[in-house]
A and B are shown apart, each in its own frame.
Chain A
Amino acid sequence: MDWDIMRDQWQARSDDGMPVVQVEKPSSVWRRVRWRDYSETFIAVLLAPMFAWISIRTAQSGVWVTAVFAAMLVVVMIYITLRLRVERRKIPRREPQMPVLEFLHAERKALIAQRDMLLSVSRWYSAPIAIGVIGVYGGISGPGISLAVYVVVVMLLCIGIDRLNRYAAHTQFDGAIATIEQQIAILEDTS
């Protein structure tokens, strides 16, 4: 077997008909991630003025608990928007024209950053919002059965979101990270 002949035969292979290049393919995890970032930012931008208005009105009426928690929610909304931008900027640049090993390392870092962000969402996203809305509602309703029910519902919602995020981190990211690590190991194997 002559390898040069194999190479020549290989390069002589081609298709008669070439597929036509079409636009835009449905893509990946990253398109969904970007869509979610935009929608979360949009919601935060929409809700912040509303809570600011609630805070001012309730402060004027002397409902201080609600006013304070509504103000807290405004801060949380701004924080979420900024944090999403900061976290996204930390993700390394990945261009398919990079050398394969470099690209794989960058892709791995990006996937790990996104997975960790997803896993920490309950700390910096769901929990502060939950505390805020419970405070706003509690300030208006006062202590009682309705507040207890509200707290339970909000907590269940937070737990549900956390579980869904953990599930998404596992199904969308863990497998891809493991595969990339395996590919990096193969490329870096010098034995």
Chain B
Amino acid sequence: MNQSLENILAVHAPRLQRIARQYAGSNDWQDLYQEMTLSIWRGLDGFAGRSSLATWVYRVAVNTALQHVRKKPLPTMEWTSEPIGVTGPSDPMHILDAFLRQLDPVNRAVLLLDLEGLDRHQVGDVLGMSAGAVAVRMTRLRARFSEEFVETR
């Protein structure tokens, strides 16, 4: 497995940034992004290809993000990011941002991984849960989001 940090970031940087924005304040999400890339760089030699590169990258990203929130919990009222491409309060992405923000960091990771396009087996690989448990969790989270979406709109 001969992956360079540059190659990995060429593909995964936007994903890492979207995750970093959900776990850090507007002032320090870039710091969290740097921590993620540093962890990836440090761990590259240990990447043996037992999981897919994407799974491996997401594991590093989520573990680093959870460590980050343990060190620096987000104030509840703080906007975790300057929303990108959001047109107004009724914009679905705005509602999604608000919903993600109110989730605990672990459930936020479940939903973020789904939004990033991982299937339930891949989400299970990243989090260390069974695919069935992920599916149950996802159904519950999406249902909660749907309620919120309908109420807000």
A residues whose Cβ falls under 8 Å from a Cβ of B: 1, 3, 5-7, 9-15, 18-19, 21-25, 28, 95-104, 107, 176, 179-180, 182-183, 186-187, 190
- Give the A-B pair count, Cβ closer than 8 A: 118
CB < 8 Å: which of B17, B59, B71, B116 contacts A97?
Answer: B59
In the assembled complex, how far is the CB of residue B75 from the closest CB belonging to chain A, in whole angstroms?
16
Tell whether, in the assembled complex, residue B60 and residue A186 are in contact, meaning their CB atoms are under 8 Å apart. no
A21 to B18, CA, bound (A): 16
A13 to B136, CA, bound (A): 27
Extra inter-chain contacts (10) besides given A11-B117, A13-B14, CB under 8 Å: A1-B92, A1-B145, A7-B115, A13-B84, A14-B14, A96-B43, A97-B60, A107-B67, A179-B70, A180-B70
Tell whether, in the assembled complex, residue B129 and residue A104 are in contact, meaning their CB atoms are under 8 Å apart. no
Q: A20: nearest residue on chain B (CB-CB)?
A: B34
Given A14-B84, A95-B46, A99-B127, do A6 and B37 touch, yes or no (CB 8 Å)?
no
A107 to B64, CA, bound (A): 12
Task: Collect the chain B residues with CB atoms within 8 Å of residue A15's CB.
Answer: 14, 17, 84
Pick 29 A–B contacts, CB within 8 A, sort by A: A6-B96, A6-B115, A7-B114, A7-B115, A7-B117, A9-B93, A10-B93, A10-B96, A10-B115, A12-B85, A13-B18, A18-B13, A18-B17, A25-B34, A25-B35, A95-B43, A96-B60, A96-B67, A97-B43, A97-B47, A100-B59, A100-B63, A101-B128, A101-B129, A180-B70, A183-B66, A183-B105, A186-B104, A190-B136
B66-83: contact bitstring with A at CB < 8 Å (1 yes, 0 no)? 110011000000000000
A14 to B150, CA, bound (A): 26
Query: How extensive is the interface on chain B, given as a class?
Result: 35 or more
Tell whether, in the assembled complex, residue A97 and residue B46 are in contact, meaning their CB atoms are under 8 Å apart. yes
B residues whose Cβ falls under 8 Å from a Cβ of A: 5, 9, 13-14, 17-18, 30-31, 33-35, 37-39, 41, 43, 46-47, 56, 59-60, 62-64, 66-67, 70-71, 84-85, 92-93, 96, 104-107, 109, 114-117, 125-129, 133, 136, 142, 145-146, 149-150
